Amino acid sequence: AIAQILGLNLSFIRTRQEHERWDDKDRDTGLYSRQYLWDKITEYSGTNTSFVLLLIALDGCNSMGWEQSHQQIQDCALLLETHKPAQAILGTIGYGEFGLLLGTKSLTAATNWAEQLKQKIKKLPNSPEQRSQSTPWTISGGIVAWDSVYSDAVELWSKAISCLEQAKSQRDAIFY
């Protein structure tokens, strides 16, 4: 009886640990969650660690069918994971939207990386429905660097979201 009780308790602990691990990850892409990304932003800003926050949105993702956009999001997530800088933290922040914490304080370096990423995204294969239209995939992005201009992580996040929204209004643009 004790072994059964211990067995149940051990399986409960294992299940809870697996659940907590998945709380940090987006189930569709396997990337870190928005909450995990936010926790890292607040952690880094609290220690005055230099970093750049890059928010990316797949243009037109919400206007296509679920299956098509879901595949596009997964393909983009894989491309981002494959090509992100080694120390970068990558997560999803919304449907077709991603966030990267880049361990650099240079907006120029981050912008150059984002521009290179835009070109790689455009080379991703389109779905059969889009091939006839010859519409390449595009992304928009907002970039901000953590520095003395921002009083806290909330202000930094708000500025990054504002830059992202400006970029999305023009499509295929990067704002900082």
pLDDT per residue as tens digits for the range 73-125:
888 888 889 988 888 999 999 888 999 999 877 888 888 988 998 888 877 77
* pLDDT on residue 76: 85
What's residue 15's pLDDT? 44
pLDDT given for residue 61 in this prediction: 67
**Picking from 103-107, 128-132, 150-154, which range would have the lowest pLDDT averaged per residue?**
128-132
User: Does the pLDDT value for residue 160 go beyond 90?
Assistant: yes
Q: What would the pLDDT profile of 8-58 be if each residue is shown by its tens digit? A: 444 444 444 444 444 688 888 889 999 999 999 999 888 877 899 999 998
Distance CA 10, CA 142 (A): 45
- CB of 64 closer than 8 Å to CB of 52: no
How many angstroms separate the CA atoms of 51 and 120, rounded?
Answer: 23
Whether 100 and 144 have beta carbons less than 8 Å apart is answered as no
Question: From CA 49, how far away is CA 59, in angstroms rounded?
Answer: 31
174-175 vs 139-145, strand pairing mode: parallel
CA distance 87 to 167: 25
| Radius of gyration over every alpha carbon of the chain, rounded to an integer in angstroms | 19
Spatial neighbors of 158 by CB under 8 A, at least 6 apart, are none
- Dist. CA 4–CA 123, nearest whole Å: 56
Sequence-separated (6 or more) residues with CB below 8 Å from residue 111: 143, 174, 176
Confidence category of residue 133, pLDDT binned at 50, 70, 90: low
User: Who wins on pLDDT, 65 or 104?
Assistant: 104
Which residues, in sequence order, are bridge partners of residue 91? 32, 99
Instruction: Give the full edge-to-edge strand order of the sheet including 89-94.
Output: 89-94, 97-102, 52-58, 139-145, 174-175
